[in-house]
Structure 1
Amino acid sequence: MSGWRIEPLTAEHTYGLAECHICCWREAYDDLVPRHVLDAFDVDRRAAQWERMRVKYPHGTHIALSGDTVIGFASVGAPKDTPAASELELTALYVRASWYGTGVADDLIGIALPDDLRCSLWVFDENPRAQAFYRRHGFVFDGARKIEDFTPALMVRMVRAPGRDDLR
């Protein structure tokens, strides 16, 4: 690692995580998510949500820090799909655009997802950059599709088998 460190989310970083989360959505999804949705994000409300998640799932979120600034994060949990496609779902993986290509996302996914569990995730159908990243980490499309909860954007599911040998 160079220039960042990965740590479990703590209470002192939930506000910084909220700022990072909103920034990442605005950077990554400006052309996929309606502007009014992106503009409506509120840092205080998002920080409160992350604090509730931190308390409920104390080992579910890891953050990447440069100094004391949250520059990325990964969050995992039980799959919400019925039937579940995997034992674990990557519910979020974001890195600020200025850190793209540095290896931060590789480190986050490496810490967030154990090699011995089948894992799934949902990604925007019109996000080839993210899809290529996940393919590099052993994920493949399984054919499932759905509309994202608060946008008209189509999501596709990707799944990774346990014990694969990827490029990490």
Structure 2
Amino acid sequence: MADATVRPAVAGDAPEIARIQHDTWRTAYAELLPEQVLADLDLAEAEQSWREVVTSGSARVHVAHEGEWTVGFCVAGAAPETETAEADGTQPADAASTGLIALLLVEPRWGRRGHGGRLLAAAAADLREAGLYKGISWVPEADRASLGFYRAIGWQTDGTVRTLDAGGRPLREIRVTGGLDLHLKQ
């Protein structure tokens, strides 16, 4: 494998982040999202949105590279209360110490090469530095690859589910949670 690295994203990464999201959703989520939702993905709009996310500082975005190629990205930050609530709507005692992995995508053709783990380790380091020790993420229930990835690092489902409207089709997501003491094995 060529050199694999992870670094914080800069505004100039927005086109590649948008492309990765577009290509990955069209490939990996083709059976989960209606064709019209996928057809309506606008790269120019996505690029502008990602540029704003990267430069706003409200969340930290990391990008993964293999050689000269950008192959994935991860978005993480402090978890809003709406994301940490228990199924009954109450806030857990550790809500203020919880980080959200809002999105972690690696292009399928670059999968199983450690990029997801490197991205998550970098995000976890940032979250720990911010004083957070617990992480959560939402994963489509039918996304077995992502659920397997989180299980492999020791995260588990916590029984909380939500259903999103994906272009008129319900998309059920389950929340996974675990510690942020994640480090790459050398």
Q: TM-score, normalised on structure 2?
A: 0.80
Question: What is the identity, as a one-letter code, of the residue corresponding to 2:144?
Answer: P
Q: Secondary structure at the match of 2:113?
A: coil
Deviation of 1:152 (Å): 1.2
Aligned partner of 2:109 among 81, 84, 98: 98
* Structure 2, gaps ≥5 residues long: 86-94
Separation in 2 of the partners of 1:140 and 1:110?
17
Letter in 2 for 1:74: C
Cα separation, partners in 2 of 1:131 and 1:47, compared to 1, 3 Å: same
Aligned to 1:23: 23
Identity %: 24
Output the CA distance in 2 between the equivalents of 1:58 and 1:81: 15
The answer to whether the 8 Å contact 2:4/2:66 transfers is: yes
2:146, 2:156 → 1: CA distance? 12
Aligned to 1:129: 145
The answer to whether the 8 A contact 2:75-2:103 is kept is: yes
Unaligned runs of 5+ in 1: none
Q: 1:83 to 1:112 in 2, by over 3 A?
A: closer
Question: Is this contact kept in 1: 2:2–2:67, CA < 8 A?
Answer: no
Cα distance in 2, alignment partners of residues 63 and 164 from structure 1: 17
Contact 2:121 2:184 in 1 (8 A): no
The amino acid of 2:119's aligned partner reads L
Q: TM-score under structure 1 normalisation?
A: 0.88
Q: Helix, strand or coil: the match of 1:113?
A: helix
Q: Offset of 1:135 from its aligned partner?
A: 0.8
RMSD: 2.4
Equivalent pairs, count: 168
1:142 aligns with 2:153: no
Q: Could you tell me how far 1:162 is from its partner in structure 2? A: 4.7
Report the Cα distance in structure 2 between the residues aligned to 1:6 and 1:165, rounded to whole angstroms: 13
